[in-house]
Structure 1
Amino acid sequence: MMEGTVGAYEADDIRGLVDRILRELGNPEPPLRLPEVRQLLALDLKYYSLSNPTLLQEVAHRMKVAGKQVIARPTILIDVIKKANLSALWIPDGNRILIDQQVPDAKKRWIEAHEVGHSFIPWHKDFLFGDDQYTLDPNCHANVEAEANFAAARLLFLQGRFACEARDVEITFKSIQNLAKRYGNTITTTLWRTVEERDGETPAFGMVSAHPHHDDIGRDPGGKDVRYFIRSPAFRTRFPGITQEFCWNFLRASAGRARRGPIFDGTVVLTDANGVRHEFAIECFCNHHAILTYAVHRRPAPLITPVK
């Protein structure tokens, strides 16, 4: 799948939309309650089952855009969901969010917030249900999905509030777990936001991967070792040569065999774009579903003086 981008203008617009939502909710304390967001936006939420497609057939039968029915055969919606392997979708007609009831509970909060994002980003209705050459372009769809993810993150982590709170604590997996619980989000999404938003000026990276010693933990459905490789803005700029393959090979060589809990806690030396070596603190943790890695810049690596 293509990796979409969020343009600067689009990001500013989405931040403004999220600001308005949070303001109308009274600037709530974490965790954000999505039912209150749905009530504010007049969104309906239903769960569907592909094994019992009655709800999907009913929705497809009623779907209209600009007053015209858009699906002549109701089962087409089911075919689209299966072909695209969708877990959820937002239907503008009726302002309804549909989520596959087979989605694990831990993932439903993020998926719901993603679809909420589609619903309040005004240009998404045209992109998701348009049929011209531009809206059907794969790059366009990837960007639309990236924008919905951006909106979900701004909502669930209450704009910049999470980053401020994260900067006030030393980041370990214990503190990431505490922040995840406070904001009501998964450890994986909390790790992601910690890397990208805690301090954009400090090089840091995160990784969600398989366990190098246990094939039944964390492997991508497509067989890939690394699911996500997350980098702070400073890391992207200063360490462009450090790839997910390098980090995976380090994990393979360094990780312990435990199936749960810490599997590595130490340092790694990385070379920046100017050839300067830097020391990073790195911690790897197994939550039984995947290996979560967090690394943050500590200092320039000490010079090694040869003994004469």
Structure 2
Amino acid sequence: MAWRSRRAFLHPAMRWGIPSPHGFGWYIGALPLALFLSGPLLVLAFSLLQSSPWRAATSELVRQAFALTLKTSVGTTLVAIGAGTPLAYLLARRRFPGKALLEGLVELPVVIPPVAAGVLLLLTFGRRGALGPLLEGVGITLPFTPAGVIAAQLFISAPFYIRGARLGFMMVPRELEEAAAVDGASSLQILRHVTLPLAFPGLFSGLILCWARAVGEFGATYLFAGNMPGRTQTMPLAILSAMESDLGAALLLTGILTASAFATLLSAWWVMGRRGEPPLAL
């Protein structure tokens, strides 16, 4: 009855699910930006269908850039998981002096312009940087090497994994871990059978966002590792080179990067949506 009484006050069009006349203003106001954001994606899809850039898949530039991007992004993600998980757990579960400062420093690469991040990496790990001579003394050279690509990707993308993993650990009820401890489970067993499974949605969401950001990294990689085909030229850098000589290759690489970003978005929506939380709430 209450629902029917409220329904009686609705505009006649809204009773049947049709927007009222004044409601159309919101649709009209939302249309320009919606078209601006979705239009380039539709144009890209149309261009891929029209120009048949798939022939460029056999070019050396595309194959080398794709292989290098896949290897370095996977390597970056593995490093982020191995080194970022303990840090995320520490930030989620422990209190210590300087925690707020550490959190700010960890989050800072997310908002630093990538080109500025490249300058920071050169100042720190370059041959004349603060730690460059020390690293070269033990046989490690980062600038303009594949390892430098991973370093640049890691600096930019690792905060995304740490943030997701931290939120995942924060969502685990302490009561469940304490109950497992009372039942005689060891710390390792609690971590393996209670903490990690419950924190998995956050861990996985952070992982795919970290990987996607590593795949699309451009500015820091360009400054710190260079743009050498077959050595440090990832797909974003290859697009820059292909725009001057092979438009088909540039379109194909752009399509691959866009498709991977879309798949990442869907994965994050699916994982976080299953927990009833806002997707990509990182």
TM-score by shorter chain over 0.5 = no
Range into which the TM-score falls when normalised by the shorter chain:
under 0.3
Larger radius of gyration: 2
Higher helix share: 2
TM-score, reference length from structure 1: 0.26
